Chains A and B, each alone.
Chain A
Amino acid sequence: MQENKEQPSGPGPSERLAEYIDLWWRFLASVKLSVVLLLCLAALSIIGTVVPQNLAGQEYARIYGPFWATLVLVLDLDGMYQSWWFRALLLLLVINIVICSVDRLQSTWKTIFVRHPKFDLNGFRNRRQRHEMDLKVGPAALQAPFERAVGKSFRYRKVVPTENGYAITAEKGRWTRLGVYAVHLSVVVMLLGGLIGSRFGFEGFVAVPEGESADTIQLHGSGQRMRLPFTIRCDAFTVEFYEGTRRPKVYRSRLTIIEGGQEVVQREIEVNQPLYHQRIGIFQSSYGRADGRAPAAAAPREAPDEVTVTLRSAASGMVYTRTVAMGQAIEIPENLGWLVLERFEADADFQGMDLGPAFIGTLTTAEGTSRTVTLPLDYPRFDAMRRGDVVIGVVDGAAGDAAPAERYYTGLQITYDPGVPVVYTGFTLMIIGCWVAFFMSHQRLVVEVTARGDGSRVMVAGTANKNKTGMQVVVERMTEKLTALAEDRQGRS
């Protein structure tokens, strides 16, 4: 009634502000927001896996036509994971995580950081899943062995006197309530590490011919050149193949790092075994012939007489293998048309991309439309990009001659990412946090012993904040253990 009287004047501006802030706080702390954000991120992330990323503007016009290409560029779909709106969503998620955690920690904090936690004895006495038994030994004789038994599996314990006896209160894993906050914090830490990397790190490429040195790399993205604080010399590059196959076994560069005219490091690097110098990583990434031609593996350089072709039907997922001679038409099963291999190129080029040795063929559908397909030997899945009804791969040309001994260059990726230690800290925190949050719980146990005639009545009950069935088992085991202890004592007296 009184509230009604006050209403005409309305809440003051400061109250209204407080109300406003409270409303926002509750919105930003809500689990509903987390769920909506997670599902939005899941759904929107799909776009970048379907729309090719980081192509030149005119490429999108070629793929999607002018209208859709404009839309792609306006909405930043060509680099959507770096776009302002995707980052805004991530920022909102971070705000949500932080505020939600702060909001909940306020109450959790009081539970976790207390010297003597409170046990609501009546609550335990009234639990449905409690165990009770009558023992023939008096409460006093049971106290020491019971305390020891409880202490073996519960770190904290305290004996509380009751009207007609005492209660052993015990608990463990109070700190495990922090697990979920560790997970939430880890997400923030990882994103922070990513941010540090993108702000202060760099990534680039340099090709160093055997016997030569380089100290300038070309940065990804901007294409600018950047000088390194040291010089890299490539002493040798080798590529090895598995016995009797064209399958590469190892790409290896022997490198020397030179600083101020001094050779400071000499080491071999391979794929998966980079070299770090001054926290700058040097990675084996590609290789090629130093005379400027395409990468030369032991690929056939002349058109082979026969080729093995795999045909995978997109509809059924079946893979058909056919051996075909150049110029001969083969029918593709499932009525998917015809394929003719027209020619072989030692150095195929696809829209400016260097593909190495490839077959060029014509695919004619059952309806009679034809198109050219490029089938590079080094990229057997290349044709999948066409998204046709059939994916064509060239398994193996006729065995080619091994590459003649020629001078190679080694292609090196050079990266510096100061955010990595931060990100890895986030990784560790997330794994430990998930483990604690999912599989560990805060368990509390009460063993109450009450005098009853010459003997005593014992009640065992427990609670846990997670995995309640697991706690039931703990209570049952404890009951069995205590009963055995009491019987043991009884037998001795």
Chain B
Amino acid sequence: MAYNSLILSITTFIYGLAGVLYIFAWIFEKPTAGRLATRVTVLAVVANTFGILLRWYESHQLHTGYGYAPLSNLYESLVFFGWTIGVIYLWVEYRYRNKTIGAFAVPLAFLTMAYASLSPDKSIQPLIPALQSNWLIAHVITCFLGYAAFAVAFAVSVMYLIKAGDEKRAAANGGLRMPSALVLDDITHKLVMFGFLFLTVGIITGAVWAKQAWTRYWSWDPKETWSLITWFIYAALLHFRLMRGWRGKRIAVLSIIGFAAVLFTYFGVNFLLSGLHSYA
């Protein structure tokens, strides 16, 4: 096994440890465990970054003409997805000073990396002609920033549905009690806006690239169509807020449905439908 996949496997365990610490800190309200969880998550993101950079470097060492930014197949995209979830979660924790979201979001980063570890083939495969374009980097990075924001929004929406049930409990303390339903709703909204912008840019960069590589900017390929379906769902979510009394629960439910569409766009299309977009 190349060093990059070794480091990325280790990263998986660090995310797992961070997730366990967050859950522990939340359930038993232990601030020490919470602080440790944040540090471990930072460590995981650093290791994840290092693994990606090392894979990039190693791709250049193999043969001439092999080198490429490691964003070109299911394994590499999963690893990058894990990274984006980690980074966006840390930003949310920093911004809202609350560690309970980590108990829901960091396990998603762990699951993503764990699923990546199961990939049968982690070897570095040089880019086929269709992928040899700078649009690859712009397209993948923007899409996954979008996906990751939706993933964290999904975690927050699940928390909202739990929280909406027992709003009567005591107010937050030490960042170890769940934020109020109002704050959770606000975080979901912010993350969905962020994700929507990046999904939009991701679809658009994909379209411009498709024009260059496949001759048309839009061909109703299953991957394209499903990304548009996801876009429609989140567009509807953003309009929910404008309707009286449609905040809160309905938004949380639609955010969960939206994330299911993200997952189908990402995995389902590849495994169940056939189309042009067969890399990841």
Cross-chain contact of B216 among A203, A248, A387 (Cβ < 8 A):
A203
> Does B73 touch A at the CB level, under 8 Å?
no
Cross-chain contact of A314 among B128, B261, B271, B273 (Cβ < 8 A):
B271
> Does B61 touch A at the CB level, under 8 Å?
no
> Does A106 touch B at the CB level, under 8 Å?
no
Q: Which of A32-40, A56-64, A153-161, A452-460 contacts B (4 or more CB under 8 A)?
A: A32-40
Residues 203-229 of B contacting A (Cβ, < 8 Å) = 204, 207-208, 211-218, 220, 222, 225-226, 228-229
Question: B222 near A49 (CB under 8 angstroms)?
Answer: yes
How many Å from the CB of B265 to the closest CB on chain A?
10
> Does B130 touch A at the CB level, under 8 Å?
yes
Cross-chain contact of A281 among B128, B193, B215, B228 (Cβ < 8 A):
B215
Question: A427 near B278 (CB under 8 angstroms)?
Answer: no
Question: A420 near B217 (CB under 8 angstroms)?
Answer: yes
**Assembly CA distance A427 to B271 (angstroms):** 30
Chain A neighbourhood of B130, CB < 8 A: 271-272
> Does B165 touch A at the CB level, under 8 Å?
no
CB-CB contacts of B133-152 with A at 8 A, as 1s and 0s? 10000000000000000000
Question: B269 near A49 (CB under 8 angstroms)?
Answer: yes
> Does A218 touch B at the CB level, under 8 Å?
no
Nearest CB in chain B to that of A243: its residue: B63
Residues 108-139 of B contacting A (Cβ, < 8 Å) = 118, 120, 125-126, 128-130, 132-133
> Does A109 touch B at the CB level, under 8 Å?
no
> Does B239 touch A at the CB level, under 8 Å?
yes
How many Å from the CB of B226 to the closest CB on chain A?
6
Question: A46 near B229 (CB under 8 angstroms)?
Answer: yes
Question: B129 near A424 (CB under 8 angstroms)?
Answer: no
User: Given A381-B274, A420-B211, A430-B200 in contact, is the A31-B225 Cβ separation under 8 Å?
Assistant: no
> Does A114 touch B at the CB level, under 8 Å?
no
User: Given A194-B218, A420-B211, A420-B217 in contact, is the A249-B274 Cβ separation under 8 Å?
Assistant: no
**Assembly CA distance A48 to B228 (angstroms):** 12
User: Given A203-B215, A272-B129, A415-B216 in contact, is the A384-B207 Cβ separation under 8 Å?
Assistant: no
How many Å from the CB of B191 to the closest CB on chain A?
11
> Does B197 touch A at the CB level, under 8 Å?
yes
> Does B10 touch A at the CB level, under 8 Å?
no
**Assembly CA distance A321 to B194 (angstroms):** 41
> Does B233 touch A at the CB level, under 8 Å?
yes
Question: A427 near B226 (CB under 8 angstroms)?
Answer: no
How many Å from the CB of A302 to the closest CB on chain B?
25
Residues 222-280 of B contacting A (Cβ, < 8 Å) = 222, 225-226, 228-229, 232-233, 235-236, 239-240, 242-243, 261, 269, 271-274, 278
How many Å from the CB of A213 to the closest CB on chain B?
21
> Does A1 touch B at the CB level, under 8 Å?
no
User: Given A243-B63, A247-B128 in contact, is the A38-B216 Cβ separation under 8 Å?
Assistant: no
Question: A310 near B215 (CB under 8 angstroms)?
Answer: no
Question: A434 near B239 (CB under 8 angstroms)?
Answer: no
> Does A435 touch B at the CB level, under 8 Å?
yes
**Assembly CA distance A274 to B210 (angstroms):** 12
Chain B neighbourhood of A430, CB < 8 A: 200, 204
**Assembly CA distance A469 to B95 (angstroms):** 11
Chain B neighbourhood of A417, CB < 8 A: 216
Nearest CB in chain B to that of A415: its residue: B215
> Does A350 touch B at the CB level, under 8 Å?
no
Question: B239 near A381 (CB under 8 angstroms)?
Answer: no
How many Å from the CB of B173 to the closest CB on chain A?
20
> Does B66 touch A at the CB level, under 8 Å?
yes
How many Å from the CB of A228 to the closest CB on chain B?
15
User: Given A49-B226, A434-B197 in contact, is the A42-B217 Cβ separation under 8 Å?
Assistant: no
Query: Which among B130, B132, B274 has the greatest number of chain A C-beta atoms within 10 A?
Result: B274
Question: B129 near A250 (CB under 8 angstroms)?
Answer: yes
Chain B neighbourhood of A321, CB < 8 A: 120
Question: B232 near A34 (CB under 8 angstroms)?
Answer: no
**Assembly CA distance A317 to B63 (angstroms):** 32
Query: Which among B204, B228, B240 has the greatest number of chain A C-beta atoms within 10 A?
Result: B204
> Does A270 touch B at the CB level, under 8 Å?
yes
Q: Which size bracket describes the interface of B in this complex? A: 35 or more
Residues 304-322 of A contacting B (Cβ, < 8 Å) = 310, 312, 314, 317-319, 321
> Does B201 touch A at the CB level, under 8 Å?
yes
Query: Which among B65, B217, B269 has the greatest number of chain A C-beta atoms within 10 A?
Result: B217
Cross-chain contact of B233 among A39, A387, A431 (Cβ < 8 A):
A39
Nearest CB in chain A to that of B220: its residue: A81
How many Å from the CB of A277 to the closest CB on chain B?
15
Question: A45 near B232 (CB under 8 angstroms)?
Answer: yes
**Assembly CA distance A271 to B128 (angstroms):** 10
Cross-chain contact of A249 among B129, B222, B272, B273 (Cβ < 8 A):
B129
How many Å from the CB of A230 to the closest CB on chain B?
18
Chain A neighbourhood of B239, CB < 8 A: 31, 34-35, 38
> Does A482 touch B at the CB level, under 8 Å?
no
> Does A84 touch B at the CB level, under 8 Å?
no
User: Given A430-B200, A431-B201 in contact, is the A274-B212 Cβ separation under 8 Å?
Assistant: yes
User: Given A38-B232, A49-B225, A50-B273 in contact, is the A271-B196 Cβ separation under 8 Å?
Assistant: no
Chain B neighbourhood of A243, CB < 8 A: 63-65
How many Å from the CB of A149 to the closest CB on chain B?
27
How many Å from the CB of A403 to the closest CB on chain B?
17
> Does A143 touch B at the CB level, under 8 Å?
no
Nearest CB in chain B to that of A381: its residue: B278
> Does A338 touch B at the CB level, under 8 Å?
no
> Does A438 touch B at the CB level, under 8 Å?
yes
How many Å from the CB of A283 to the closest CB on chain B?
5
> Does A253 touch B at the CB level, under 8 Å?
no
Cross-chain contact of B132 among A48, A272, A423 (Cβ < 8 A):
A272
Chain B neighbourhood of A317, CB < 8 A: 271
Chain A neighbourhood of B273, CB < 8 A: 49-50
CB-CB contacts of A239-279 with B at 8 A, as 1s and 0s? 00011110111110000000000000000001111100000
Cross-chain contact of A434 among B63, B196, B217, B272 (Cβ < 8 A):
B196
Chain A neighbourhood of B214, CB < 8 A: 283
User: Given A34-B239, A38-B239, A242-B63 in contact, is the A247-B126 Cβ separation under 8 Å?
Assistant: yes
Known: A243-B64, A271-B132, A312-B271. 7 other contacts (CB 8 A): A34-B236, A42-B233, A49-B222, A49-B269, A249-B129, A381-B278, A431-B200
Q: Can you show 23 pairs from A to B with CB atoms below 8 A apart? A: A31-B242, A32-B243, A41-B232, A42-B232, A45-B229, A81-B225, A203-B215, A242-B65, A248-B128, A249-B126, A250-B132, A271-B132, A272-B133, A273-B212, A310-B120, A381-B278, A382-B274, A385-B274, A391-B271, A413-B215, A424-B208, A430-B200, A431-B201
Chain B residues in the interface with A (C-beta under 8 A) = 63-66, 118, 120, 125-126, 128-130, 132-133, 186, 193-194, 196-197, 200-201, 204, 207-208, 211-218, 220, 222, 225-226, 228-229, 232-233, 235-236, 239-240, 242-243, 261, 269, 271-274, 278
